[in-house]
Amino acid sequence: MAYSQRVREILSWYPSDNPGTLTNIAKLLNTGTLAGTGKMVILPVDQGFEHGPARSFAPNPQGYDPDYHAQLAIESGCNAYAAPLGFMEAVAGKLAGEIPLILKVNNSDTLAKVDQPCSALTSSVKDAVRLGCTAIGYTIYPGSGARNTQYQMLSELIAQAKEYGLPSVVWAYPRGSGLSKAGETAVDIAAYAAQIAAQLGAHIIKVKPPTSHVEQPEAQKVFDKYSIPKGNLAECVRHVVQSAFNGKRIVIFSGGEAKDTQALLDDVRQIAKGGGMGSIMGRNAFQRPKAEALSLLKEVMNIFRS
């Protein structure tokens, strides 16, 4: 398959990566409905671990079954399917590469009270290789007092993944005693988190849609002095994308909490307008009946394609 101009351009942002890793970035970009556009929609299903099974799957009980999600991702034309080890084990041997898989190698649950937010390492790069995955995924919590542990672990995982030709997708979720609740999605913090993920070597960065709130007083001064636009979601997205190496890293956005279809699509339009390179859409997809989910994902992809 001849690569599109845009895919070639994106690959040029990673001049120091080995051919194996570039090949797998290209695979993510050249799969599904958005193949070749430089945009991505990914189906992630780690909510069973993060929020518990009933909260995640009772709205659409087909979701209890790991086979369901992989099929949903394939049928909807997603670029990739992301999940923790167990869900991957349950499908990888059957799929044998039918869709790119992103092994989410760390996870949190909501059962334990942990001092400083820090996900548990739940699988490894070698697991990803063994399961035929195309990339690994890892969550960092910038703002956590356990920052050093997470950054160092991610740094080692990224280096190891590269040796196997696997790119890394980083969930950059600001959280911890250093931040207010509003600060977790503040535009300055979202941009800072994207910067950190990029500096740590992430190939693809996943953030939440940023709000206009500015958390850090020092950042507020700069936003004021240089009149950085942040009046709507598109402008906030633009600042975040700019903060990821002037847009030279793939930045995608989550849909946030489950919401109604129009609100969701409005957000996606703003994200696309602001330069966001895609969406990662979990609960909003798999908690709907399958037909609705397929329809929604199609619309999302249409927005990014246009």
Segment near a second copy (CB under 8 A); pick from 29-37, 173-181, 264-272, 293-301: 173-181
180 makes contact with a second copy (CB under 8 A): no
| Rounded distance between C-alpha atoms, residue 209 and residue 237, angstroms | 7
Check binding of 210 to a second copy (CB under 8 A). no
Q: State how beta strands 120-121 and 250-254 pair.
A: unpaired
235 binds a second copy (CB under 8 A): no
Among 11, 74, 129, 219, binds a second copy (CB under 8 A): 219
Residues 140-169 close enough to bind a second copy by CB under 8 A = 142-145, 147-148, 150-152, 155-156, 159
Q: Does 222 bind a second copy (CB under 8 A)?
A: yes
Which 84-103 residues touch a second copy, going by CB under 8 A? 84-94
DSSP string, 94-133: HHTTSS-EEEE-EE--SSS--SS--PEE---HHHHHHTT-
Q: Which stretch binds a second copy (CB under 8 A): 15-23, 257-265, 274-282, 289-297?
A: 15-23
Comparing CA positions, the residue from 47, 102, 114 lying closest to residue 70 is 102
Cβ proximity to a second copy, 28 vs 187, nearer residue: 187
234 counts as binding a second copy under rule CB under 8 A: no
Q: Does 48 bind a second copy (CB under 8 A)?
A: yes
Is 206 one of the annotated active-site residues of the chain?
yes
> Which phi and psi angles does 82 have, rounded to 5°?
-120, 135
Query: Under the criterion CB under 8 A, does residue 255 sit at the interface with a second copy?
Result: no
Residue 258 binds a second copy, judged by CB under 8 A: no
Q: Does 112 bind a second copy (CB under 8 A)?
A: yes
Residue in 248, 254, 264 with CA at minimum distance from that of residue 207: 254
Q: Give the nearer residue to a second copy in terms of CB position, either 58 or 263.
A: 58
Residue 96 CA to residue 73 CA, distance in Å, equals 15
CA angle in degrees (0–180, nearest 5) for 87-92-94: 120
How many chain residues bind a second copy (CB under 8 A)?
Answer: 93
Which residue of 13, 164, 265, 290 would you call a contact of a second copy, by CB under 8 A?
13
**What are the residue ranges of helices labelled H in the chain?**
5-11, 19-29, 47-51, 53-57, 66-76, 85-95, 125-130, 147-163, 187-199, 217-225, 233-243, 261-273, 283-286, 290-305
Among candidate residues 104, 162, 206, 230, the one labeled active-site is 206
Per CB under 8 A, the list member of 27, 165, 248, 256 interacting with a second copy is 248
Q: Strand 120-121 vs strand 106-107: parallel, antiparallel, or unpaired?
A: antiparallel
Cβ 35 to a second copy shortest distance, Å: 25
Closest Cα partner for 98 from 118, 78, 84? 78
In whole angstroms, the minimum distance from the beta carbon of 255 to a second copy comes to 19
Query: Does 109 participate in binding a second copy (rule CB under 8 A)?
Result: yes
Q: Does 289 bind a second copy (CB under 8 A)?
A: no
Tell me which residues are annotated as active site: 206
